[in-house]
Structure 1
Amino acid sequence: MKVMQLLPELNSGGVERGTLEIARALVQAGHQSVVVSHGGRLVAELEAQGSKHCSLAIHKKALSSLWQIAPLRALIEKEQPDIVHVRSRVPAWLTHFALKGIPKATRPRLISTVHGFYSINRYSQIMTQAEKVIAVSDSVVDYITQNYKNCPPQDIVRIYRGIDAKAFPHGYMPPKHWQNQVWQDFPELKDKFLICLPGRITRLKGHETLITLMQQLKTQFPQAHAVVVGGADPKKVAYLDELKNTIQSKDLSDQITFVGHRSDIREWLAMSDLVLSLSNQAETFGRTVLEALSVGTPVVGWQRGGVAEILSQLYPQGLVAVDDQVTLLQKIQQHIQTLKQVAPVTQFSLDDMCQQTLALYEQITTSK
């Protein structure tokens, strides 16, 4: 088989990581893998794994992107993939128009993956107009069936995203030299009960809730210290400044540390005593929650979306009804007072995700 995946860019994020994982699985299984994007820092890794990358400006939500339809059609005709797999709305629309100009007899089969709870409109509907629509969680299946009646239920295939358990082994502890470097860079973290909030600096991740929690914990549990692991892109710097000003005004500068964008997320999750998932909106999956549980760190989070699906199966005692601030505080206090154990994770594996996706590819290429 030859599979062409399309996404806006290859910099960082769950969509990008999933694309690389499927590309690698295709190559390892003896298939051909082509990825089309505007490029980015993950291109080198993609190509090193044996995939071909084709650079095309399919990343902008702008009318000017329509100029890419003809080049994309030419690329598809040149590469002749058996399957085109779209992972984002702009590439999906461009692919939709590109395929219309290719005779039906030589047209590749079309698959999409719905990675997000997109705004419900005609623009987003394109993600449900493929022959098979992959949903990354049961929450996404519900979102599609409730909002896009044009998509037959039998065409929706739930394939959970997965992680490599070998990369996040149960009981993992960061090496001593890494810990020593952290104590050097952030001495305020040493000998503290570390509460980690991972994720980019945006208004969606629940940083205000974290600040309120630390204010409530300060007197009774002075050993509690929050670590925010995630960077702020240039557009979000003002929000980061706003958060830091709030922290300073509440006299919490000694209780909350921002460590910025990190590529060593596994180490931070493993070193933390508790990880929080406090997003203001439901997440489609919740990869970081799964990674934390995989290394054995307890997670407390809101009961919605993909995070609720993961926690209900792996660590149900970490579930909190959405916006129930009283129970949230109580759960965190309980974790500080008593060490909690997380059982080894055997579900949501990367192998399962790859095998199910490749099986779907094979099924669609052999069907009429």
Structure 2
Amino acid sequence: MDTYLPDRTAASASATKQLDIVPPEGQPAEHVQSSVGCPQDADLPACDSVESQPAAASPADLQDPAKAPDGLAKAGAPRKRSRRKKPAAVEKETSGFAIEAPPTEPCLKRPRRKQKANVRLSDYVVGHVQATTDMQIPTTYKLARASKFWPRWRAAMLAELQSLKDHMTWRLVPRKDTKKTKVITCRWVFAVKKDERGRIKRFKARLVIHGFKQQLGINYTETYAPVIRFETIRAAIYYAIQRGWLVLQYDVKTAFLYGDLDELIFMEQPPGFQIDGPSMVCRLLKSLYGLKQSPNIWNKTLHAKLLAMGLVRLDSDYGLYALKKDGEVTLLLTV
């Protein structure tokens, strides 16, 4: 079986004839001489002599544009594509539009978890006790008088007045004896004391002077009172547990009423319990709740009493006192 193989020489010759001669830049096309453009007929004379014709370029020279002939270098190099410029009118029309970013979805916040009440508050017994014993604590004397518990509030106020009278907290003087000294007002503060089950134990009422109306240097000077450190309390409890000490707790009732007052202070009579009308005012003799110097006076009074009993205040903490007697050590923490 015969197979037909095309002649490579004939194909390459025909392809070479079809190549266009590309003239170098700045040189007209008629000055370009190439062996490709010469006719191959035998009747016509040769175009040039062999010496005038350029030497054949090697494959290495063809790869190097500097060594390759002008025509082949231009023909073998890839042509640069020239982009067609847009008309000026089209550029103006298209360049005026701003490219907008795609719309983003709004960021939704995560829903907060539901707030649930404490499990301890779900006790119906505790809720029932609180509902039956809960009451509105009056803030003024008029509200206490309008309350349904007025008899009990009045009994608490009378008990407070009797305690103030027993301590000789003040004495009544005519208003004209104040000698233009500012008379400070006072108010009643009410509270309810409950037991561990939430039931009302007793009603409390306390007479408090408006200490914010005091003036520095006129009716008070020093207000500092040392306070025991919490580390001292923890250390004392630790040693008491380790060594088996006896721990007792004491509460001084109406502690501020034990201190003598040095400054000259006048106070209005308690609301609802005025004697001889508004013409009489109270000249304070003892420190009262609400005065700025009451903590300082109470600390000085307590310190003097404890020193008289033989206790010694430690330098590490002014709220800690110690007594060593008959081989026993007694610690007293003032809170």
Work out which of the two has the higher radius of gyration on C-alpha atoms and give 1 or 2.
2
The two structures have a TM-score, normalised by structure 2, of 0.20
The two structures have a TM-score, normalised by structure 1, of 0.19
Which of the pair is proportionally richer in helix? Answer: 1
